[in-house]
Chain A
Amino acid sequence: MSHILLVDEDQDHSTLLANRLRAESLQVVTCPRWDAAVRVLTGTSDPFELVVLNLSLSPQKGLECVRAICHLRWNPNCFLGPRVICAVDHLLDPHLELEIEALGARVVYEG
């Protein structure tokens, strides 16, 4: 079963998305805080395959989190870092989007 970390400050959105992912037989752990996401990722022996971050409320804080998560993969103890998807409900600043894509994450627009 795929193991996904969902980082989302918006509680309602997080619950909805987590339920949809679970309905597709995916195992989801939710985390409402940016600064806790890396700790969650590194604090388990069962590696996450994918991280989904909701960047809609605070894209800049989200970018820092994306950067920290993407850099995890170059840690020799954590080489197989997870893939990262950033979900947003509005158009991102193009520079921000480029930065996210350059880190190896993927931006997905809702709706």
Chain B
Amino acid sequence: MRDRLALVLHGVNVQLAELRKLVTTGPLFRIVHRFREPGTVCLPGEEIAVVVLVHKGREYPLLLPLALRILFDYLAKHRGLPQSAAQIEAGLRSDSFYVRHGANAGRRQTRRIRRSSVKEYVKRIRNAIGQAYQVLNQSIDPKQILISEKTAGQESVYRLRASVQWLHSDVAASL
């Protein structure tokens, strides 16, 4: 009986290890940038084409409109720095990657993300993450991934707790 149970114990330990990893590093997302200029990576003019949740080697695209893809990419790039809505708005306005977003395709695709809309956008991103996990039948709280915390002054700061990879593509067809 002792040997028979070894596989069950192994399964339990694997599940618990996966939970620990998820709690400490968060899930893995892939962000695909397209329309890059050959020989360059992550320069202004590229488009954030899609955000994908990677779970057990499989990819699940988050259904995010333009403004949410921009915000997600920004939070992913600054995930070591919790930022308030005002900081996020300022960061997006001053970063030429977002100002010239999509320009390599001939026309810029930009959205003005105001500080007053950040809270709602964060909620929508969490909903999209929750939907992806619902498809996967996984019990993950999106609020544990896109975290909001109160500062001493009662201002909310936002932070993405996740591992992120960026993939770059010259054209859409090669995605």
Chain A interface (Cβ < 8 Å from any Cβ of B): 2, 4, 16-17, 20-21, 24, 26, 49-50, 52, 70, 73-74, 79-83, 85, 87, 89, 102-104, 106, 108-111
Contacts and interface: CB of A to CB of B under 8 A. Distances in A.
Contact of A111 (B3, B13, B137, B144): B3
Contacts, number: 66
Interface residues of B, number: 24
Contact of A24 (B2, B13, B15, B139): B13
Given A16-B1, A17-B5, A104 B139 contact: yes
A32 B134 CA distance: 29
A87 B134 contact: no
Given A50-B16, A108-B11, A110-B8, A80 B141 contact: yes
Nearest to A71: B137
Main SS class of interface, B: helix
A19 to B, nearest CB: 10
A109 B4 CA distance: 9
B160 to A, nearest CB: 19
Which of B3, B12, B15, B141 counts the most chain A CB atoms within 10 A? B12
Contacts of A21: 9, 12
Given A52-B8, A111-B7, A102 B16 contact: no
Given A2-B16, A16-B1, A111-B3, A85 B138 contact: no
Given A17-B5, A89-B4, A52 B139 contact: no
Nearest to B134: A74
Given A2-B16, A49-B16, A74-B134, A109 B141 contact: no
A20 B11 CA distance: 13
A105 to B, nearest CB: 8
Interface string B146-159: 00000000000000
B172 interface: no
Interface in B106-163: 134, 136-141, 144
